[in-house]
Structure 1
Amino acid sequence: MNIDLNSDLGESFGSWHMGNDKEILKIVTSANIACGFHAGDPQGMLKTIKQAYVCGVAIGAHVSYPDLVGFGRRNMDLSYDELYADVLYQISALSGMAKSVGAEVTYVKPHGALYNTISKDLQQAQAVVDAICAFNSSLYLVALAGSPLIHFAKEKGLSVISEAFADRAYHSDGTLVSRKIDGAVLHDYDEIALRVVNMVKTGHVQSIEGHLTPIQADSICVHGDTKGALEISQKITQVLTEENISIRSFSSLKGGQ
């Protein structure tokens, strides 16, 4: 059995520091690098790209609404043209930087409110999918497992990776619990690692309502800004290894095709 581990990285901004990217990059197989719209700045983007490249970690554009103050977690009602241009700009910026060091961007993962919105709002999803296709239709799109976006993007010709979250609580319908609700973000290392193993081996996750909820995951995300993100990633890796589950980039997984 195989699984990809990804993390949101490059989210520091100027003198404001977030996460432990250098150490997490030694563990994960895919790096979702902020492109400056919700977090990150040019110097940080380039630094994270270089670190990921050295570690042999796949590089993805972590695109967002233009919302630095809200860390990309506030919904925005953008027009098609605005969102299309914003997403295309972010992919282009990260890809250009990657090319300068001999690396390449292989996938796109929307961030925060944009990620959640397009999982079900196919009007906004159209702008995101069109921007990806315009830049490079061979890029993977990472999307919420079980969401309508997966089928929609595949119909448009994209290869899609179904993603589950190690450190987030789920509702019984497979949607993520709002961060405004207590218990939405998990912190117990052992609990999180066990949940990941169950996702991979059984295809289910325990919902906040107490039900076993089906979930198909080609990639598991550990948020870089979650408290104890490094320790969580280390524990997940330990338990997956003990269960003989290989950790490798989703570019080698058949499930996302």
Structure 2
Amino acid sequence: MKIDINCDVGEGISNEYLLMPYISSCNIACGGHFGNAKTIDKTIQLAIENKVLIGAHPSFPDTANFGRKVLGISHEELQKSIENQLNLFVERMSFFDEKMHHIKPHGALYNLIAVDEEHAKIFVKSIEKYSKDVFLYVPYGSVIEEIALENNIKIKYEAFADRNYNDNLTLVSRSKENAVITQTEEVFNHIIFMINNQKVKTISGLEKVIKVDTFCVHGDTMNSLEIVENLSKKLKKEGIKIGF
């Protein structure tokens, strides 16, 4: 059995060279919440060296809040920003003669389009020129999943290794103490339960059906390296290989 482990990278943490050997896909910040041509190029190079699939990680254009705040900008502004971010990313990928594998929205944008139909439609419109050849990482049971499938966009279901879930399968807000899971064994137990049961244990103790093709470990989680190292070791013992 194989399972994909992805990381959000190129976000100024400078730990990519440590994380890459333990993951199979990555999402590179492309100028919205962080990033420029230099950081994108450096991260692409590391991904190539480690045979990691490469995706774009567009967000609200908001470096001040690291893309973790919903911005009250017009649909036109949001669409233009996402298109600009993806144009930059594709340009840098072409420099390495590489093709984008997937797109994964970041932070507040990811959470918003999971529940908001209007913004989900704007996001799909923003990526349509790229969507023929790439996957879109989406949460199971989300609005963006439905809109993407209606527009014939290929999807991969994503769940979060280091985040807790509400009963409606949204992520627990980062404003709450129990939002992020940092204990390595707790992260492993969180993942293995989803793999074995196709369900996730929510913060209230409920077990909710979920589909997962790829698990995310945030590169800026304080002990992300220890988390991915432990996952690599423990999943191998379970007969599960990290990869697509």
Normalising by structure 2, report the TM-score.
0.96
Structure 1 partner of 2:4: 4
- Secondary structure at the aligned position of 1:105 is classed as coil
Give the Cα–Cα distance (whole angstroms) in 1 for the partners of residues 199 and 26 of structure 2. 25
Alignment of 1:42-191 (within 5 A): 42-191=37-186
* Alignment check: 8 A CA contact 2:120 2:143 kept: no
* Alignment check: 8 A CA contact 2:131 2:154 kept: no
Give the Cα–Cα distance (whole angstroms) in 1 for the partners of residues 86 and 16 of structure 2. 20
Structure 1 partner of 2:197: 202
User: Structure 2 stretches of 5 or more lacking a match?
Assistant: none
- Secondary structure at the aligned position of 1:135 is classed as coil
Structure 1 partner of 2:229: 234
Structure 2 residue 240 is the aligned partner of structure 1 residue 245: yes
- Structure 1 residue 118 displacement after superposition: 0.4
Give the Cα–Cα distance (whole angstroms) in 2 for the partners of residues 3 and 194 of structure 1. 15
The residue type paired with residue 175 of structure 1 is T
Give the Cα–Cα distance (whole angstroms) in 1 for the partners of residues 187 and 131 of structure 2. 35
Query: Do the aligned partners of residues 136 and 186 (structure 1) sit closer, same or farther apart at CA in structure 2, a change above 3 Å counting?
Result: closer
Give the Cα–Cα distance (whole angstroms) in 1 for the partners of residues 196 and 83 of structure 2. 36
- Secondary structure at the aligned position of 1:130 is classed as helix
* Alignment check: 8 A CA contact 1:206 1:212 kept: yes
- Structure 1 residue 152 displacement after superposition: 1.4
Percent pairwise identity: 36
Give the Cα–Cα distance (whole angstroms) in 1 for the partners of residues 10 and 48 of structure 2. 13
Give the Cα–Cα distance (whole angstroms) in 2 for the partners of residues 19 and 162 of structure 1. 27
* Alignment check: 8 A CA contact 1:19 1:225 kept: no
Give the Cα–Cα distance (whole angstroms) in 2 for the partners of residues 7 and 146 of structure 1. 22
The residue type paired with residue 24 of structure 2 is T
Give the Cα–Cα distance (whole angstroms) in 2 for the partners of residues 79 and 20 of structure 1. 35
Give the Cα–Cα distance (whole angstroms) in 2 for the partners of residues 124 and 173 of structure 1. 19
- Structure 1 residue 104 displacement after superposition: 1.7
- Structure 1 residue 146 displacement after superposition: 2.0
- Structure 1 residue 92 displacement after superposition: 1.2
- Structure 1 residue 135 displacement after superposition: 3.2
- Secondary structure at the aligned position of 2:129 is classed as helix
